[in-house]
Structure 1
Amino acid sequence: MHTYLPFLLAMIAAIVLLNTLANKLKIAYPILLVVAGLLIGFFPGLPILRINPDLIFFIFLPPLLFEASWNVSLKEMKRWWRIIGSFAFLVVFFTALSVAVVAHHFIPGFTLALGFLLGGIVSPPDAVSTGAITKFVKIPKTTAAILEGESLLNDASSLIIFRFALIAVGTGQFIWQEAALSFLWMLTGGAGIGLLLAWIFVQAHKRLPLDAPSNIALTIIEPYFMYWLAEQFHCSGVLAVVSGGLFLSAKRLIFFNSASRIQSSSVWDSFVFILNGVVFLIIGLELPEIVEGLRQKGIPLSSAIASGILVTAVLVAARIISSYAALIATYIFRPGVMPRASSNRRRWLMPMLLGWTGMRGVVSLAAALAIPITLDNGTAFPQRNLILFITFIVILLTLLVQGLTLPVIIERTGLFEGVVEEESEEASRHKMKQGLKEHVYQFLKDKYETDESGNAGLQKFLKQWEERAKATDDNWMNEKTKKIFVELLETQRQYLTELNKDPKIDEAIIRQQLYQIDLEEERLKII
């Protein structure tokens, strides 16, 4: 423990410094972390990090998926469910199948089952990598919503493929009928368990006298419990966490007070940032041991690198082909739901962009590291080191090649210049604020018009409430006006919740305003 602790603390410090450097250079921080881990891994004398394969999923995946589902826009997911569903399930299966066929035919020693195992590992794009890269360029909210929604669900589908492939490798057989029933149970059982537990947690948050730290502590254990219980029933733990996280996110205004919402945002941002950083550093730190394992198995390094490049090319080609297939199918069968674009040229270039956003990262590494070292009969797991090395090459190439070129391609091609959005962000923000002012004024007039005479605080609400944060004199804020103030904040939340049902309003803007209202309520407590 004393050997690892200074090393782990140094890793966190390195993550912070590398993230700062990445922001200054306007480079996605996963790129620098992977490269830094690779360089550090070859330093002599460093301790070798070994994580139990049975624990790798449980340590990293639940909180990362929970945080992503907490922040994704459920409204946008519902709106674009067809294309999100096709990318999360059909495209992932097509990608895994393509990798399996190519690996079986061109990589020595790979059976079809091992090919599917590798395909399940490398098929899901990484949301963290994509989000970190696209934050330096402006992309339409439609594209962002599709990428976010896809990233939540494709992890579940790819890990289901991974699990079935592990069984096929271990037993040497694969029964389609049993697999189909198991697949159905994993989907429905996982989602059902996640929703049931999420409802129970909502009741706990509402009924127990929890303060903000207690609420946040409970949210940290929730994804782990959802994942663990679903796995005990042989369901998809990933789907349990995603469905439960979406349910809790939709109910956050009901069971969280303003202090809990504000503080939880900071805590979870820091927690997930450290987890992601550790995983990306591990990717690089693991490489020297993987290379040594290849050498012991007599696999030439050049051959392993060539296999990694081949699989990467298959992944990129499969995603681009799938993107164009989805666009053509939508154009033929559902032209009314196609994303808008300023020209046909840009519409037909969009699938190329979606295909080029398939960077791999955390989930692929976690899946690769979760491969057992030995089979049930005690023999070494076949091609484990080669699968790990190919996964590393895929992550490295997609982060470096696609990650570094994607912002340049978007800027130089002007792909999103003049893209037709249904309503601009500025227009949505103006509409929301104007509606809020009218709603609050009408609320005050309807409820407190008879109390206005002689009440200086209420008169100030009616005339200058939108400038209350700038007011230097807080003596008018007595207990009665403070109570009215709280009512105003709550009615604004209700108004924004209803406004969010408008498909033209960006949910991110609604959430920003809700956060401002929470800050206003906390400010009120110290007046």
Structure 2
Amino acid sequence: MAKCDASQYIGFGREVRIQHPLETITIVLVLLLAVVVSEYLSRMLRLPIPRPLVQIALGGAIGLIGDFQVTLNPDIFFLLFLPPLLFLDGWRIPKEELVRDSKTILALAFGLVVFTVLGVGLFIHAMIPAMPLAVAFALAAVLSPTDPIAVSAIAARVPIPKRMMNILEGESLLNDASGLVCLRFAVAAALTGTFSLYEATADFVWVAVGGLGVGFVVTTIINAAKNWMARHYGEDTGSQILISLLIPFAAYLLAEHLECSGILAAVSAGVTMSFSEASGQAMATTRVRRSTVWDMIQFAANGIIFVLLGEQLPAILRSAAETVRLTGHHDPGWLLIYVLAINLALAVLRFAWAWVSLGFSLFRARRRGIVIERPSWRFVVAMSLAGVRGAITLAGVLTLPLVLNDGSPFPARDLAIFLAMGVIILSLVAASIGLPLLLHGLHLETNTGQRAEENRARMAAAEAAIAEVERVQHELAEGKSDADLYVAAAARIMDLYRARIEAQSRAGEDAALARQIEAIEARLRVAALKAERMTIYRLLRTRKIGSETARKLVRELDLMEARYEG
């Protein structure tokens, strides 16, 4: 968090005071504590309430009872939160599903974004003439990206079809970038008062291609250098994790320096990272620890954003009377009407786009002689409702400039922030209530293809392991008098892999019986692993083993248990 001259900031209709560094650190710690508390509260309540709503409520409570107000430099806010989140999305999204549903994802991520920016932007300007058209387009641009994190929180309480989740994740990965690029052009038009379609198109090509290229080049070079160092001088887990944390920021900053899209650079860096990591050069320990670190960063960053949203709500609501005057009204209730109307417009446009796109896809399939059953209308409505807004929308709207080029306040900035926050909250509430009702009782596809693929991979891996054990056993035992020891040790290991191959072979003959046996075996193994762990802790408490030994053994058991419970 950075604080500059207070004269540079007017936050939510009030002057921003300069904060002492100790107070800033305290705010950070309070926000992190609120994120932790939100997780426990969401589990304790056992209500169909997604965690982001709990975090918003906690943030609101902090804003009411706390004596501090958080105001971030928009550029710093953007830099702190977006690169790592988008990088991680690009890194972890399933690439096969992304390719399989690429046409649907691209239509939602680019076509729907432009459709939303134009349609909702014109709608907002017509509904609120006091908001300039460029600002209305900017607001529509930050409202166009969807947030899969919030949907995942909802999915924890109601089963969402896997393919539907893959499409939503892929859409979010790309529409974050396209929506924020549209925001950039809308803000530029608001600042300069002019807009050229030709220049915007040329700039968009450079911004998009340059951003994607920067992300690819930066990640490729860094990974090549990192792997070379690891091969020649060994691999240090801590430095490997730190490098992965720095990559998205390096790509983002270089792209912004070249006046490309830092957002697309972060996404491209994440996708490139996933392909680079497919080589498997990193140590297993590095991958396990790095995954844990990134899980924590994702949890903390998303949580802080929602807590910040809630923390700002009391101040925004206090200024609602002043904000509503910008619209030509005096009753603050009009702000709620505007939020409802914008949410409805977003849902209608998304439903119309999804319905027309689906019809076009079915028409093309019929032209090729492929008969595809039209999905239930409830799936289409669920897809529309699942497009909730979240962290990216909040981050984007807070980056609206504070002043124009001539030094005058940015028009309707407070109103745009209020409406964006209202849309985020209302879309979360609507999805929390609507998705369980829409998806209840619908047949969800089974993932038999992926299970068969997993079985084939396990058998191939086991066969390769047996061959390698035999090779290493002969290599180690050659010319040694105790060769029988190597044969016995190798036989014990190979028996485990042969049992796995036999189990996977049975799975093809009797899938239901194999799954039942596998489930029973998993429960027995988990019970055994828990008993081992409790024994290790007992030995540690009685000081029969040291803490270092206990930590190592418990880590091994945790990894094995995660394999059966994952």
CA contact under 8 A between 1:205 and 1:255: conserved in structure 2?
A: no
Query: What is the deviation of 1:74?
Result: 1.3
For residue 35 of structure 1, what is the aligned residue in structure 2? 57
Residues 98 and 14 of structure 1: CA distance in aligned 2, closer, same or farther (over 3 Å): same
For residue 495 of structure 1, what is the aligned residue in structure 2? none
Query: What is the deviation of 1:415?
Result: 2.1
Amino acid in the other structure paired with 1:35: A
- Equivalent-residue separation in structure 2 for 1:337 and 1:275 (angstroms): 46
| Selected match of 2:313 from 287, 297, 301 | 287
- Equivalent-residue separation in structure 2 for 1:131 and 1:165 (angstroms): 30
Query: What is the deviation of 1:294?
Result: 4.4
Tell me if 1:153 matches 2:174. yes
Query: What is the deviation of 1:326?
Result: 1.5
Query: What is the deviation of 1:407?
Result: 2.7
Residues 94 and 332 of structure 1: CA distance in aligned 2, closer, same or farther (over 3 Å): same
Amino acid in the other structure paired with 2:268: S
Q: Counterparts of 1:180-195 in structure 2 under 5 Å?
A: 180-195=201-216
CA contact under 8 A between 1:359 and 1:403: conserved in structure 2?
A: no
Tell me if 1:223 matches 2:248. yes
What count of residue pairs does the alignment treat as equivalent?
A: 466
CA contact under 8 A between 1:205 and 1:256: conserved in structure 2?
A: no
Residues 230 and 330 of structure 1: CA distance in aligned 2, closer, same or farther (over 3 Å): same
For residue 117 of structure 1, what is the aligned residue in structure 2? 138
Q: Counterparts of 1:453-472 in structure 2 under 5 Å?
A: 454=484, 455-465=487-497
- Equivalent-residue separation in structure 2 for 1:410 and 1:160 (angstroms): 33
CA contact under 8 A between 2:132 and 2:411: conserved in structure 1?
A: no
Query: What is the deviation of 1:523?
Result: 5.3
- Equivalent-residue separation in structure 2 for 1:370 and 1:138 (angstroms): 35
Residues 268 and 296 of structure 1: CA distance in aligned 2, closer, same or farther (over 3 Å): same
- Equivalent-residue separation in structure 2 for 1:286 and 1:238 (angstroms): 25
CA contact under 8 A between 1:441 and 1:462: conserved in structure 2?
A: yes
CA RMSD of superposed structures (Å): 2.8
| Selected match of 1:15 from 23, 26, 35 | 35
Query: What is the deviation of 1:190?
Result: 0.5
Amino acid in the other structure paired with 1:401: A
Residues 256 and 406 of structure 1: CA distance in aligned 2, closer, same or farther (over 3 Å): same
- Equivalent-residue separation in structure 2 for 1:159 and 1:461 (angstroms): 53
- Equivalent-residue separation in structure 1 for 2:175 and 2:295 (angstroms): 22
Helix, strand or coil: the match of 2:22? coil
| Worse-superposed segment, 397-406 or 423-432 | 423-432
Query: What is the deviation of 1:40?
Result: 3.1
Helix, strand or coil: the match of 1:264? helix
- Equivalent-residue separation in structure 2 for 1:145 and 1:335 (angstroms): 25
For residue 90 of structure 1, what is the aligned residue in structure 2? 111
- Equivalent-residue separation in structure 1 for 2:207 and 2:311 (angstroms): 33
| Selected match of 1:58 from 39, 61, 79 | 79
Structure 2: runs of 5 or more not aligned: 1-20, 501-551, 558-566
| Selected match of 2:409 from 354, 360, 380 | 380
Tell me if 1:132 matches 2:153. yes
- Equivalent-residue separation in structure 1 for 2:297 and 2:180 (angstroms): 24
- Equivalent-residue separation in structure 1 for 2:498 and 2:429 (angstroms): 47
Tell me if 1:320 matches 2:320. no
For residue 395 of structure 2, what is the aligned residue in structure 1? 366
- Equivalent-residue separation in structure 1 for 2:94 and 2:380 (angstroms): 22
Residues 272 and 420 of structure 1: CA distance in aligned 2, closer, same or farther (over 3 Å): closer
Query: What is the deviation of 1:198?
Result: 0.7
For residue 355 of structure 1, what is the aligned residue in structure 2? 384
- Equivalent-residue separation in structure 2 for 1:441 and 1:250 (angstroms): 28
Deviations 1:440-469 (A, max 9, x none): 33555678679697322222233234789x
- Equivalent-residue separation in structure 1 for 2:63 and 2:411 (angstroms): 25
- Equivalent-residue separation in structure 2 for 1:402 and 1:203 (angstroms): 43
Deviations 1:470-516 (A, max 9, x none): xxxxxxxxxxxxxxxxxxxxxxxxxxxxxxxxxxxxxxxxxxxxxxx
| Selected match of 2:269 from 225, 231, 244 | 244
The TM-score with structure 1 as length reference comes to 0.82
CA contact under 8 A between 1:139 and 1:416: conserved in structure 2?
A: no
Query: What is the deviation of 1:114?
Result: 1.7
For residue 306 of structure 1, what is the aligned residue in structure 2? 337
For residue 564 of structure 2, what is the aligned residue in structure 1? none
Query: What is the deviation of 1:4?
Result: 3.1
- Equivalent-residue separation in structure 2 for 1:337 and 1:393 (angstroms): 45
| Worse-superposed segment, 291-300 or 193-202 | 291-300
Query: What is the deviation of 1:390?
Result: 0.2
Residues 336 and 365 of structure 1: CA distance in aligned 2, closer, same or farther (over 3 Å): farther
Tell me if 1:433 matches 2:458. yes
- Equivalent-residue separation in structure 1 for 2:64 and 2:190 (angstroms): 32
For residue 488 of structure 1, what is the aligned residue in structure 2? none
| Selected match of 2:294 from 268, 276, 280 | 268
- Equivalent-residue separation in structure 1 for 2:370 and 2:341 (angstroms): 32
CA contact under 8 A between 1:142 and 1:339: conserved in structure 2?
A: no
| Selected match of 1:172 from 181, 186, 193 | 193
CA contact under 8 A between 1:360 and 1:399: conserved in structure 2?
A: yes
Query: What is the deviation of 1:269?
Result: 0.7
Residues 312 and 430 of structure 1: CA distance in aligned 2, closer, same or farther (over 3 Å): same
Identity %: 30
